[in-house]
């Protein structure tokens, strides 16, 4: 859902000012000095980092504004890393909220009001502009630097922080309690915000804020913070700093309790997979199984973070299964309702676009951000597109309606239908993309490839189990041309698409669907096509003289043989959807052209058509959660058993290009115990054990007969 942008003006000193709140974003001519004094020194950051013994440090902030606080702390962190390169602290995670984001058109002028940051690369402003989020409600994860990640929640601060997933060992190490002055923006400085901050705070978490307002102080104390006043910045008499102790948690925090049966787990076994210069022992790898989009992107992310990774797959070449299409459409599946599926789609799409743009700078792959047109080719689709347009859920940069004349101009061919145009969308060659990920990963010494090898089964071990000599991890049972073998791994990530089904059934009931796509030679009017066309199927602009035309859907069919009857189905579908164009006859005349070719692949999806991401559930959950149907308060239920150090990323269906990058980011973040890039309700919808939970609540079989 789109949100209202800030109304920005600049005062006589050139400082950005909010018209909504009649307040400056930072002090005139002293913004960076104020941030340093209030937030960096108020939280004693540099000193704490010198003795910090954990891998990542998390800062929570209310009010992202111009980003000044973030830029200042990012600069400080990069200077810290340069001075202490061997520190256990490797990564800074910054979580902020913003209800009224700076309009992109004004962002260059806003950034120009800031001085230079010594540790930043010279082109940092250009890079920030390239990644700046669209004005859409939700979480926007930006990888500002290999050492620094920022999550910007476009939402009310209290709502955003109450929706965060909080692990058992809590989340936040320091708070920047910012935003406009309490006298001008009192709704933000609420008790619900203070309570959710306390719920997320680690033991000895600190906070700092420029204000010393009495109700702010009292609210923080009520939530469980130890508060004290100190000299304020410049002419301000006082400011507040404090810390948190878990033995003072407010009773109000029970409102933020998360259902334990949807808990996500930080993975302890990754210690054995990390690459350390001081270690003489070869680390056990993380084994990622699958050579499609999910596997290649997951492996790349782990390799870039310094972990030993082995990518294993059963075929000969990368992307030789469902990800082997010549061209795939890249666009979100938008709904007139702002529901869970639509939110996952849009958040995934925006993250994927940033990921692909960054990857293309390193390893170029075949793609085009040519935009996509959803065609209102019959009465039903016109009604649907009208609903999408009339609700105005998204800014024009995401989707907006076009008349037939406007659509024809975009597509460069006759489009006699009203359309919904998605400017950021386009097409990607999945094969080229997968190879770009693998080629990028090959630049790291901690990456290995093993092809023509199938995962038959796995066994989970812990240091207290059996006679495994202290081994804690996963044993993989593999098969190749030479027979069966075993391999020990720190962890296992199953990204094998349709090959995941036998490994995870029946606890994760994945489904397979055959799909056939046609490749049509570019001739005549078709050669002019300039955008992706979407109806019941899709038609792409040309790549290397060929258009992609598809696709069929045949449930529970695993044959990859090309079928003439499905070729005819594809052409008939397009003939029906495009029949009012003046070039439809040209396309149908190509149905039997000898230059055509086709390819069939097997997609993997879930029963609810939402991806599956996270720790693999253990069958003990069927007993542990057997009373779910009683609908008791959530604290009556346990944290259920999982196959420790075994993870799955699957069920992407036909939307892998849209969802794979963010799903891989969720997976890796969960494995490392880092903040997760979606709110709790969306993470629960993606949980691999959601099918167990539903079956026990409804008292229905886990796997229904078709």
Degrees (nearest 5) of the Cα angle 626, 630, 633?
105
pLDDT of residue 1: 77
Which whole number is the average pLDDT over 391-420? 93
CATH classification of the domain holding 528: 3.30.9.10
Q: How many CB atoms lie within 10 A of CB 443?
A: 11
If we measure between CA atoms, which residue out of 99, 96, 97 comes closest to residue 20? 99
| Tally of domains within the chain | 3
48 with 85, same domain? yes
Region of poorest pLDDT, from 269-283, 360-374, 396-410, 413-427: 269-283
Task: Report phi then psi at 182, rounded to 5.
Answer: -55, -30
71 with 169, same domain? yes
Residues of the domain holding 383: 372-423+511-605
319 with 227, same domain? no
52 with 201, same domain? yes
**Residues 468-485, buried b or exposed e (16+ Cβ, 10 A)?**
eeebbbbbbebeeeeeee
68 with 165, same domain? yes
69 and 61 in contact (C-beta within 8 Å)? yes
Give the pLDDT confidence of 275-301 residue by residue, as tens digits. Answer: 543 344 567 899 999 999 999 999 999
**Residues 248-278, buried b or exposed e (16+ Cβ, 10 A)?**
ebbebbeebebeebbbbbebbbbebbbbeee
Distance CA 495, CA 613 (A): 10
pLDDT of residue 248: 60
Q: Who wins on pLDDT, 629 or 390?
A: 629
Q: Considering the entire predicted model, what is its pTM?
A: 0.94
Give the pLDDT confidence of 630-649 residue by residue, as tens digits. Answer: 999 888 999 999 999 999 99
CATH classification of the domain holding 24: 3.40.50.150
pLDDT of residue 253: 53
pLDDT of residue 705: 44
30 with 63, same domain? yes
Which residue shows structure tokens 């993309």? Answer: 433
Task: Report phi then psi at 88, rounded to 5.
Answer: -60, -25
637 with 648, same domain? yes
For residue 263, the Cα-to-chain-centroid distance in whole angstroms is: 18
CATH classification of the domain holding 487: 3.50.50.60
Mean pLDDT of the chain: 91
Looking at the domain assignment, is residue 640 inside a domain? yes
Which whole number is the average pLDDT over 536-551? 92
Which whole number is the average pLDDT over 337-353? 94
Judged by DSSP in three states, 449 sits in: strand
Q: Is the pLDDT of residue 629 over 80?
A: yes
Looking at the domain assignment, is residue 26 inside a domain? yes
590 with 624, same domain? no
Looking at the domain assignment, is residue 348 inside a domain? no
Instruction: Give the CA dihedral 529, 569, 537, 416, nearest 10 degrees.
Output: 50
Judged by DSSP in three states, 41 sits in: helix
Q: How confident is the model at residue 191 (pLDDT cuts 50, 70, 90)?
A: very high
Q: Which of 585, 605, 625 is the last residue of a domain?
A: 605
143 with 36, same domain? yes
Tokens of 319: 């992307």
DSSP at 36: I
Give the pLDDT confidence of 325-334 residue by residue, as tens digits. Answer: 889 999 998 8
93 burial level (CB within 10 Å; 0-12, 13-18, 19+):
buried
Judged by DSSP in three states, 497 sits in: helix
Q: Which of 212, 233, 257 is the last residue of a domain?
A: 257
Count, residues in the chain: 706
Q: Is the pLDDT of residue 564 over 60?
A: yes
What is the SS3 string spanning 520-570? EECCHHHHHCCCEEECCCEECCCECCEEEEECCCEECCCCCCCCHHHHHHH
702 with 584, same domain? no
For residue 350, the Cα-to-chain-centroid distance in whole angstroms is: 9
If we measure between CA atoms, which residue out of 207, 204, 202 comes closest to residue 189? 207
Give the pLDDT confidence of 80-103 residue by residue, as tens digits. Answer: 999 999 999 999 999 999 999 999
Q: Is the pLDDT of residue 121 over 90?
A: no
Q: Which of 257, 273, 305 is the last residue of a domain?
A: 257
- Angle, to 10 degrees, between the axis of helix 430-441 and the axis of helix 656-672? 30
DSSP at 64: -
Distance CA 376, CA 644 (A): 48
Q: Is the pLDDT of residue 32 over 60?
A: yes
Judged by DSSP in three states, 456 sits in: strand
Integer CA distances (angstroms), 499 to 453, 502, 535, 599, 646, in order:
12, 7, 29, 18, 16
Looking at the domain assignment, is residue 298 inside a domain? yes
380 with 272, same domain? no
Looking at the domain assignment, is residue 358 inside a domain? no
213 and 186 in contact (C-beta within 8 Å)? no
pLDDT of residue 256: 59
92 with 184, same domain? yes
Looking at the domain assignment, is residue 519 inside a domain? yes
Looking at the domain assignment, is residue 355 inside a domain? no
532 and 548 in contact (C-beta within 8 Å)? no
Sheet of 426-428: strand order equals: 328-330, 426-428, 367-368
E-assigned strand segments in 328-369: 328-330, 367-368
Looking at the domain assignment, is residue 627 inside a domain? yes
Q: How many CB atoms lie within 10 A of CB 464?
A: 8
């Amino acid at each position: 859902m789109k949100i209202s942008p800030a109304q920005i003006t600049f005062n006589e000193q050139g400082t950005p000012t909010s018209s909504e709140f009649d307040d400056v974003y930072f002090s005139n001519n002293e913004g960076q000095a104020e941030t340093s004094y209030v937030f960096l020194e108020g939280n004693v950051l540099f000193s704490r980092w010198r003795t910090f013994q954990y891998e990542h440090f998390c800062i929570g902030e209310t009010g992202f504004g111009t980003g000044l606080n973030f830029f200042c702390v990012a600069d400080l962190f990069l200077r810290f890393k340069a001075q202490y390169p061997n520190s256990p602290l490797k990564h800074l995670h910054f979580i902020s909220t913003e209800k009224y984001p700076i309009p992109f058109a004004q962002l260059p002028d806003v950034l120009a009001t800031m001085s230079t940051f010594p540790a930043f690369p010279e082109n940092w402003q250009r890079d920030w502009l390239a990644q700046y989020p669209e004005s859409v409600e939700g979480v926007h994860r930006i990888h500002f630097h290999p050492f620094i990640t920022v999550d910007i929640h476009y939402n009310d601060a209290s709502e955003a922080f109450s929706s965060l997933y909080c692990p058992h060992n809590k989340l936040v190490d320091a708070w920047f309690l910012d935003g406009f002055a309490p006298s001008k923006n009192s709704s933000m400085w609420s008790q619900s915000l203070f309570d959710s901050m306390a719920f997320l705070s680690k033991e000895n978490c600190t906070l700092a804020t420029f204000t010393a307002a009495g109700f702010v102080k009292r609210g923080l104390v009520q939530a469980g913070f130890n508060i004290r006043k100190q000299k304020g910045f410049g002419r301000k008499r006082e400011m507040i700093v404090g810390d948190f102790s878990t033995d003072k948690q407010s009773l109000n925090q029970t409102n933020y309790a998360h259902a334990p049966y949807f808990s996500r787990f930080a993975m302890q076994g990754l210690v054995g997979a990390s690459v350390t210069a001081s270690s003489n022992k070869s680390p056990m790898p993380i084994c990622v199984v699958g050579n499609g989009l999910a596997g290649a992107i997951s492996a790349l992310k782990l390799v870039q973070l310094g972990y030993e990774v082995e990518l294993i797959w059963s075929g000969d070449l990368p992307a030789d299964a469902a990800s082997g299409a010549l061209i795939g459409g890249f666009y979100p599946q938008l709904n007139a309702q702002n529901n869970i599926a639509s939110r996952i789609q849009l958040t995934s799409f925006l993250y994927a676009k940033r990921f692909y743009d960054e990857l293309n700078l390193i390893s170029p792959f075949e793609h085009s951000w040519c935009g996509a047109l959803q065609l209102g080719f019959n009465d039903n689709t016109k009604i649907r597109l009208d609903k999408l347009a009339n609700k105005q859920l998204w800014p024009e940069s995401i989707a907006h309606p076009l008349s037939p004349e406007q659509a024809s101009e975009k597509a460069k061919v006759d489009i006699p239908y009203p359309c919904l145009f998605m400017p950021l969308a386009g097409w990607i060659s999945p094969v080229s993309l997968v190879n770009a990920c693998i080629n990028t990963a090959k630049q790291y010494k901690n990456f290995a490839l093993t092809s023509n090898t199938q995962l038959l089964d796995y066994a989970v071990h812990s240091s207290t189990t059996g006679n495994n000599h202290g081994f804690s991890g996963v044993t993989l049972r593999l098969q190749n041309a030479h027979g069966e073998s075993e391999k020990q791994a720190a962890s296992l990530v199953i990204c094998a698409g349709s090959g995941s089904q036998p490994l995870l059934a029946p606890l994760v009931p994945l489904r397979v669907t055959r799909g056939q796509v046609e490749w049509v030679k570019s001739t005549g009017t078709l050669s002019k096509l300039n955008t992706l066309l979407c109806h019941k199927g899709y038609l792409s602009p040309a790549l290397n003289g060929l258009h992609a035309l598809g696709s069929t859907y045949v449930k529970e069919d695993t044959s990859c043989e090309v079928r003439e009857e499905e070729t005819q189905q594809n052409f008939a579908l397009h003939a029906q959807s495009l029949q009012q164009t003046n070039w439809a006859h040209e396309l149908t005349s190509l149905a039997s052209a000898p230059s055509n070719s086709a390819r069939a692949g097997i997609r993997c999806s879930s029963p609810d058509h939402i991806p599956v991401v996270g720790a693999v559930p253990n069958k003990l959950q069927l007993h542990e959660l057997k009373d779910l149907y009683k609908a008791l308060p959530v604290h009556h239920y346990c944290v259920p058993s999982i196959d420790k150090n075994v993870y799955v990323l699957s069920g992407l269906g036909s939307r892998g290009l849209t969802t794979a990058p963010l799903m891989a980011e969720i997976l890796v973040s969960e494995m490392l115990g880092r903040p997760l890039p979606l709110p709790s309700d969306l993470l629960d919808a993606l949980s691999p054990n959601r099918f167990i939970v539903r079956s026990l609540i409804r008292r229905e079989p886990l796997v229904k007969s078709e």
